[in-house]
Structure 1
């Protein structure tokens, strides 16, 4: 019993070196007392088999453990295949090809670890798409050309990097001023600032267009990336400067300003909305014309009514004077007249009624008809 107490709590490690940090635990005893004839199987690989035991101060151990460690080993036997890469009772089976360093369990042939890019007990399964490395525990950065996944072993892009990326892992963007495949393209000097590192596109300086600023503005356009339209108000209908939109010979009256888009009468109009304002101007002009004609017609009708009233009043005044001049005559007519001119007066009534009263006046053998008119 005492010998077991001294033996209790031991550990067995495997290692390829004598450094403690390189040891791989194979077996740990406890808390019960071990048998003195002890056997175990270690499914590990190593050059050294290390037996270790301890009693540390301040650590409480089971009651059956001896307080002092004495190691007395009569015999230590290590059984296994004499060469690596094989397993089985007779060590005649080859370990799976994708086992790390081609080492496997000497009993069942399972891999002690897999080569980069493989997984599974027998390391017969490749890493899932987008993963790589030992244990498939690393993720592809995703910048391979044509969005192809990276190499499952080391994460490299087999067909190179996508435009704008560089480095073995295609995880570094192009430096400022460069773009494209392998960062071999140089940004145009006509870019306002640096270009896009993938395709070289940029905002062009005034007067230039296209993604790489290689083309001049189309006539009639100007400015940054040629995004503005000329005002169309240049003298002699000349096109404006492609750089700032100014007119070479100046502006048509009454336009002014750098780009001749300021109308001194109507204010500044944006060229992009000139059609809308022209439409409004035409509509307003038509409306004003119609209103003018309507006012002219009304004034004409009113003036006609006023003139008619004036004429009516004049006629009424004439009739009144005529009536006064005939009252004293009393119906006596000259002998030689066979007829009398009839004076007819009318006011604004649409019709008039004639009342006739017959008075036959005979004087010196002449017969006359005296007619009196009255208006309603």
Structure 2
């Protein structure tokens, strides 16, 4: 069953019909802030993000309300649903009613779990004259390109990170940037020292009878 306006429509893979009633677009009421999260379920090496705006299958004209409500949008990638804790990949400061495209791609070579589309029209803030005084989530599709697995690199995102315990590696060189929980070092071959665990060995075991009984990956106390 088609869900008119449902947020899941932004990731259903359907982008041939960019109209409000197609059942393949997100539609929300006009508001001061608009946010859409795409949860990749784990941290991935992202290359680019493409957004299909709702156009009602019409050519943009300067009076088209949706178009003016899109102006000023941003794209962030974060490890949480808080965009401010992540990386700003793109912030629109230059598009006009005549130049904003129906399909936009932001190059975004970062690691993250959440791709976040955001826009705002805050009541106490002044915006350019051609901005509509509200914004919304009228988006038909958000596509995220990059590694299909947690750790990979290369021009086609097809090479696994070269070190077994590497969680995130550099997109071009394969150099490890983040080790899997419980490991450290340039090649992620070293286990956390006694009493430490987690990503980058940054957490301390505080509830085990003896620190050496603390698992380096998750901090589990093997003997109580």
State if a TM-score over 0.5 links the two structures: no
Question: Larger relative contact order (C-alpha < 8 A, sep ≥ 6)?
Answer: 2
Q: Normalization by structure 1: what TM-score?
A: 0.29
TM-score by length of 2: 0.44
Pick the structure with more strand per residue: 2
- Look at both structures and tell me which one has the larger radius of gyration over its CA atoms: 1
